[in-house]
Amino acid sequence: MPTFAYKALQRDGKMAVGVLDAAGRPDALRQMETLGLRPVNLLEKNSAGKKGSAAPSSLGNITFDFASKKVSAKELENFTRLLSSLLAAGVPLSRALVILQKEASSPASKAQWKQIHDLVVDGMSLANAMAKSPETFPRVYVAMVEAGEAGGFLDVVLAQIAEFQAREKDLKSKVMQAMLYPCILLVLAVGVLVALLTFFIPMLRNLFNSIHGSLPLLTKIIIGASDLIRAYGLFVAAALVVALFLVRAWLVSEKGRRVWEGIILKTPLAGPLIAQFAMARFCRMLGTLIGAGVPLVQGLNVARRSIGNQILVDAVAQAIERVQQGGRLGQSLADCKALFSGSVLEMISVAEESGKLDAELVRVAVVTEADLDRNLKTAVALAEPLMLFLIAGFIGTIFIGMLLPVLTMSQNIK
């Protein structure tokens, strides 16, 4: 009879390691369920007549044929929340994954959850199985799951991840809604300018050609721009596309990303908003992890990945090194002035002394998100009239440039 080595979660959340004899993998899973264990790893040991160390015989034959379509953020949030509920109710991990696979709402998610189930059943940890699909499970997600598995509180961590996903989606939605109207105004402005330069200006060319004498400089510039767009519009558009592609490739590189993020952080309006957003994510993530029982240093390493801005990530990485050397968190974060104000650092320091660091970090995140929401509304309120002013300025300049020759001609007639 085959022997299986297992690693599983007990009812009290502690990790258990042992071996058992079973007729097969399904029988081993049933025995673990009877013992009140939730499987994390289940490896079949080779029989005595075979050479080699314990390893799942089918793992090498698995092909990672993930669905071509990406799993949506909503499906991932539902998966996380339901998996947490099932594990909290005592359902074994493998059975919970089967249930989620059956209840999947799309072929992409169904195929994804099946792959995760197959890998887990063949002995891989849930975090490592998820790491095989970085397009679905972000690095922060995988790191939190890994911490939950190591600490024996996977269901708690999954619930925290689902809550974090919901709050972050809500915050991103507010940002997108705030930027929607200014973007629409910008597109309309570009469309109006192109229409004026392509159709309106050429209609006045014959009138301007009949005017004796030189045209005003502004009129010459506008006519030149119109001629350029009409004659080489496609080439200009192609050049813009190529330029955008090259800029995007540069921004993807490590050096370009750092330069761009540094410029954005120094921008008067966008910089503080991005820093606020990063701090809210960092504090909520760290508070969530500490509240779930993750050690401080491990929580810091996971939380810093959620910041997004590489310059701010580097600053927090230096603070983590000081914490590893025995420094206090509040004092170690003092050099991250772009992220943490003096008042926030003081609150973190007091929370450390009182033993309420997790609750205080979450509270700081809540307050920061509310402040960010107000600042976004203010920024949009300022951006809308600014965009209207710029649109009116461009269009007004064109009309003035076109009217100057007409006024000159009227004066000559008089």
pLDDT, position 56: 38
Q: What is the pLDDT of residues 315-354, one digit of tens each?
A: 778 888 888 888 888 888 887 777 788 888 888 888 888 8
Q: Rank 91-95, 140-144, 198-202, 285-289 by mean pLDDT and report only the highest.
A: 91-95
> Within this chain, do residues 172 and 238 fall inside the same structural domain, yes or no?
yes
Report helix, strand and coil shares of the chain as percent, to nearest 5.
70, 5, 20
CA distances from 364 to 159, 165, 346 (A): 20, 18, 11
Residue 359 has pLDDT above 50, yes or no: yes
Give the per-residue pLDDT at 62: 38
Q: Are 90 and 38 in contact (CB under 8 A)?
A: yes
**pLDDT tens profile 154-209:** 887 788 788 777 877 776 777 777 777 777 877 887 888 788 778 877 777 766 66
The pLDDT assigned to 11 comes to 64
Q: Are residues 287 and 352 in the same domain?
A: yes
Give the residue, 397 or 338, on which the prediction is more confident: 397
- Reply yes or no on whether the pLDDT at 57 is more than 80: no
CB 222, CB 405: distance < 8 Å: no
**Highest mean pLDDT, choosing among 14-18, 75-79, 254-258:** 75-79
Amino acid occupying residue 83: L
98 in any annotated domain: yes
Token pair 């698995």 is found at 62
Find out whether 387 and 183 touch, Cβ atoms under 8 Å. Answer: no
Query: Residue 47 pLDDT > 50, yes or no?
Result: no
Residues 95 and 185 in one domain: no
- Stretch 300-312: mean pLDDT: 73
| Same-domain status, 345 and 270 | yes
Domain end (from 111, 137, 163): 137
Q: What is the pLDDT of residues 253-295, one digit of tens each?
A: 878 877 887 787 788 777 888 888 888 878 887 887 787 677 7
Same domain, 223 and 372: yes
Give mean pLDDT, residues 114-122: 87
User: Which residues on neighbouring strands pair with residue 45, listed in sequence order?
Assistant: 3
Regarding whether 164 and 124 lie in a shared domain, the answer is no
Q: What is the mean pLDDT of the chain?
A: 77
For residue 298, the enclosing domain spans: 153-414
Share above pLDDT 90 across residues of the chain, in percent, rounded to a whole number? 1
The reported pLDDT for the residue numbered 365 is: 85
Cβ neighbours of 177 (radius 10 Å): 11
* pLDDT confidence band for 242 (50 / 70 / 90): very high
Domain membership of residue 106 (yes or no) is yes
For residues 47-56, average pLDDT: 38
Residues 278 and 346 in one domain: yes
User: Is residue 302, in this structure, part of any structural domain at all?
Assistant: yes
Same domain, 91 and 207: no
- Count of structural domains, the chain: 3
Instruction: Provide the token pair at 356.
Output: 């309420």
Residues 301 and 209 in one domain: yes
Based on the fold, state whether residues 103 and 228 are members of the same structural domain.
no
pLDDT tens by residue, 245-263: 998 888 878 788 778 877 8
Q: Is residue 266 part of a domain?
A: yes
| Same structural domain, 349 and 381 | yes
Instruction: Name the band, by pLDDT with cuts 50, 70 and 90, for residue 68.
Output: very low
Residue 254 included in any domain: yes
Note whether 323 and 199 are same-domain residues: yes
- Distance (Å, whole) CA 303 – CA 312: 12
Structure token digits, residue 61? 């034959």
